[in-house]
Amino acid sequence: MSAGAAAVVEAMAAGERRGVTPELRTAYSRSGLSHLLAVSGLHTGIVFALVNLALWWLPLFRRGHLLKNLLAAVAVWLFVAAAGFPPSAVRAAAMCTVLQAALASASEYVGLNALAAAGFGMLVWNPNWLGDISFQLSFVAVAAILAWGVPLCRRCRTRWKGVNVVVDAYLIGFVATAATAPLVSHTFGVVPLAGLAVNPLAIALAGVVVFGGALWMLAPVGFLAPAFGFVTGSAAEGISALARLTASLPGGTADYTLGGWPTAAVYAVFALATLAAWSGEPKRNVPLRT
């Protein structure tokens, strides 16, 4: 594994970004992939899935499902603590905890309600997070995924599972990138146009890096080190190559700063469009029993 790939693996799996060179950071930023270099909701979600997969056997025992959900929630928060409690990861951990509680109690899980509860709890704990760009990007991206990405995935469902996986990955990545583009432009003065196309592939490769890193931390088996290094290093090098290629494309990135009021107007239009789409859905008639 090259030094650059090792630095990217450390950044994605453990939040350690000191080894990432300025040139590579610029490439990630201009390609719209800089979110992959920080421990975020994506990384926390992968750890959440990995821990639940590793503890699949616990429900076979009496009250094992309760222990499984408790241990999974603790593991997720330990991962977030090791990363230094970045706001986006805290948001994801809070939502994962709500989901674990719903699984343990066989209750219904509503993603937007969990997102709102996570935001309220985080701002009560630390109101300064409201001005944190990672907090803002995380909540905007997840809100867009829940409001638009998930319904689009359902509408585009096909009979072929392999096609569904590819389409879902692209739609989720596209919606998250499009929703955060105005805020990225306002804050960083960059609109990563090509990032709309390459984010799904980059996220898939990042999943390999984070999954491999988390699995190695949970089960560090010495003789598997070369295999883990090859897989995670190759995926990291692939992401970096994709970032450099995207950043160098003519017209792949637009240097444009969106003003404060126009940014607010764009999100107001998004909100109104979401409400209009929801109001157009057929209502369920619930008969009243007498």
Res. 127 pLDDT band, cuts 50 70 90: very high
> Would the pLDDT of 284 be above 70?
no
> Would the pLDDT of 126 be above 60?
yes
Res. 14 pLDDT band, cuts 50 70 90: low
Would you say 240 and 27 are in contact if contact means Cβ atoms under 8 Å apart?
Answer: yes
Which is more confident, 15 or 185? Answer: 185
Query: What are residue 255's DSSP bridge partners?
Result: 190
What are 150-176's pLDDT values in tens digits? 899 988 888 888 888 888 878 888 888
Tell me which amino acid residue 169 is. A
The pTM for the full model equals 0.81
Average pLDDT over residues 141-158: 90
Distance CA(151)–CA(156), nearest Å, equals: 9
**Reduced to 3 states, what is the DSSP secondary structure of residue 165?**
helix
The pLDDT value recorded for residue 268 is 93
Beta strands in the chain (DSSP E): 190-191, 254-255
The pLDDT value recorded for residue 115 is 93
Lowest mean pLDDT among 18-27, 128-137, 205-214, 275-284: 275-284
Q: Are strands 254-255 and 190-191 parallel, antiparallel or unpaired?
A: antiparallel
> Would the pLDDT of 238 be above 70?
yes
Average pLDDT over residues 176-190: 87
